[in-house]
Amino acid sequence: MLKNQKAIVTGGLKGIGKGVSEALLRNGAMVAIVDIADHLWHEINNDWTNKFPNGQFYYVKCDLFNRQSTISAFKEAYEILDGLNIVINNAGIYDESDWERSIDINLKAMIRVAYIGINLMSKEKGHFGGTIINSASGGGLSTVGFPSYCAAKHGVTSFTRSMSAIPEFYKLHGVRINSMCLGAVHTDMTQQHDLRQSEELDALPSLHLVNKIKREIVNSMSSEDMIPLEKAGDLYVKLIRDTNAHGENMIYISKYQKEPYYHEFKGLN
């Protein structure tokens, strides 16, 4: 159980973020959702009120593309929760037609959120330490035909490992940083096939092939083959509970995989 633990989840109103939020609530945590999707909150609020009658969950609107909006939202969420123990650094997009936007949210915003989370949990600043989990996906350890998405996610896994390599980091801050690398999870993002048209897409004809690649990948899998959202959420809870994990990339590619495992990093020799 994570009773009385206080968690912020970015992008927590749909997809993996929603699955993780529900897993946290099932395990007794208080959850503040930092997201921009106002239109989803009313329905989810009603659903969770019925599903988690004793649950404590909140919504703070935030534009994660914007630095000041992110800082303000985390400050508000921290005050609502009256503290912070867990940050699920999850918000992301799939948009190869606008690679700069993809990098902005999938890498830059994730690093920004990680640093904000460290500041709000650091023992050096008088807090109690905590845990950050970055959503890196399987794209953070492989190349699956989505250039900017995979580039960003590789950046996330590298950032995670690099933070743990800084001498004295954990001793000073008491904050563990890990990444979750999942295979295909049954979400709207996974089912999204087509890129929207843009000048960038027209200028780089190779990006037209990305539609074809993703359609082939998705069509090769049935929804029964994808990782269920509830399972995805439970894996995040498992990683939170592993107090020995710091700088790790947990891998779970298929729902047929018995147990997750940690990526074995082989440095330069």
User: Can you tell me the mean pLDDT for 40-44?
Assistant: 95
Q: How does residue 220 score in pLDDT terms, banded at 50, 70 and 90?
A: low
72 CB-side CA count, 13 A: 9
Region of poorest pLDDT, from 20-24, 121-125, 223-227, 255-259: 223-227
Q: What would the pLDDT profile of 230-259 be if each residue is shown by its tens digit?
A: 999 999 999 999 999 999 999 998 777 888
User: Can you tell me the mean pLDDT for 120-125?
Assistant: 98
Amino acid at position 165, single letter: A
Residues in the chain: 269
Region of poorest pLDDT, from 43-52, 56-65, 158-167: 158-167
Distance in angstroms between the alpha carbons of the first and the last residue of the chain: 42
In this structure, are residues 27 and 2 in contact, taking their beta carbons and an 8 Å threshold?
yes
Closest residue by Cα to residue 6 from 41, 33, 25, 31: 31
Among the listed residues 59, 78, 94, 149, the single catalytic one is: 149
User: Can 149 be counted among the known catalytic residues?
Assistant: yes
Q: What would the pLDDT profile of 148-176 be if each residue is shown by its tens digit?
A: 889 999 999 999 999 989 989 999 999 99
Residue 269 has pLDDT above 50, yes or no: no
Give 132-171 as a DSSP string.
Answer: EEEE--GGGTS--S-HHHHHHHHHHHHHHHHHHHSTTHHH
Q: How does residue 67 score in pLDDT terms, banded at 50, 70 and 90?
A: very high
In this structure, are residues 135 and 16 in contact, taking their beta carbons and an 8 Å threshold?
yes
CA-based torsion, 30, 34, 35, 36: positive or negative:
positive
In this predicted structure, what is the pLDDT of residue 222?
Answer: 58
Q: Which of 31-40, 131-140, 253-262 has the highest mean pLDDT?
A: 31-40
Q: What would the pLDDT profile of 69-113 be if each residue is shown by its tens digit?
A: 999 999 999 999 999 999 999 999 888 778 899 999 999 999 999
Residue 189 has pLDDT above 60, yes or no: no
CA separation for the pair 63, 231 (Å, rounded): 28
In this predicted structure, what is the pLDDT of residue 95?
Answer: 80
In this predicted structure, what is the pLDDT of residue 13?
Answer: 96
In this structure, are residues 5 and 30 in contact, taking their beta carbons and an 8 Å threshold?
yes
Helix (H, G, I), strand (E, B) or coil at 100: helix
